[in-house]
């Protein structure tokens, strides 16, 4: 009987130690995440010191932050190292550069503009335009000079614009 009690006490002690080690590991992981987030928050605050209503979301490959600046809603992306990747915000069709509007008038005449976003990135500015033609929806990206970066097919309309990729 004494052997049984001793075995029971040792088993419980072993389980307690095992659970304690797991808790220690779980506590350690969020500290790393918090440090990265602090670095990103610092970089963000330096780039956008007047940002308001800031909301952070961790993504698989970095961080996304939604914020308001001068009454306009923005989204910025940072990689896992805290480096800024891009910032985007919605604009009206009338705010598109004239060269992009000319490209749309020539290449996408049958499409209606649904949404326009302006991106600022490390590589420079570009615009993304969401277009609709019947049931087809396509997103096309443009440099400010009107040159098409890439139509992004969302509704199997690739064939219609494939020759534009080579321009």
Per-domain residue ranges of the chain: 2-81, 92-166
pLDDT digits over 45-78, tens only?
999 999 999 999 989 889 999 999 999 999 999 9
CA pair distance 92, 73, nearest whole angstrom:
13
Contact 141, 149 (CB under 8 A): yes
Question: What tokens were used for 61?
Answer: 């490959």
Predicted confidence at residue 90, as pLDDT, reads: 98
Residue 25 confidence (pLDDT) above 80? no
pLDDT digits (tens, 9 = 90+) for 74-103: 999 999 888 999 999 999 999 999 999 999
Q: What is the model's pLDDT at position 139? A: 94
Is residue 162 very low, low, confident or very high in pLDDT (cuts 50, 70, 90)? very low
d(CA 115, CA 93): 8
Q: Which two tokens stand for residue 76?
A: 């910025």
**Domain 92-166 class, CATH top level:** alpha beta
For 18, the token pair is: 């095992």
């Amino acid at each position: 009987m004494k052997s049984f009690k001793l075995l029971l006490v040792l088993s419980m002690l072993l389980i307690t130690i095992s659970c304690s080690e797991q808790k220690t590991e779980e506590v350690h992981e969020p500290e790393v995440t918090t440090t990265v987030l602090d670095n990103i928050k610092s970089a963000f605050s330096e780039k956008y010191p007047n940002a308001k209503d800031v909301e952070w979301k961790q993504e698989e490959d970095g961080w996304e932050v939604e914020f308001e600046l001068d009454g306009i809603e923005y989204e910025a992306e940072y990689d896992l190292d805290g480096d800024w990747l891009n910032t985007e915000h919605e604009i009206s069709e009338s705010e598109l550069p004239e060269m992009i509007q000319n490209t749309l008038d020539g290449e996408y005449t049958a499409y209606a503009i649904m949404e326009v976003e302006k991106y600022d990135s490390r590589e420079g500015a570009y615009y993304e335009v969401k277009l609709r033609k019947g049931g087809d929806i396509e997103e096309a990206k443009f440099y400010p000079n009107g040159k098409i970066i890439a139509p992004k097919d969302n509704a199997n309309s690739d064939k219609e614009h494939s020759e534009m990729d080579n321009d």
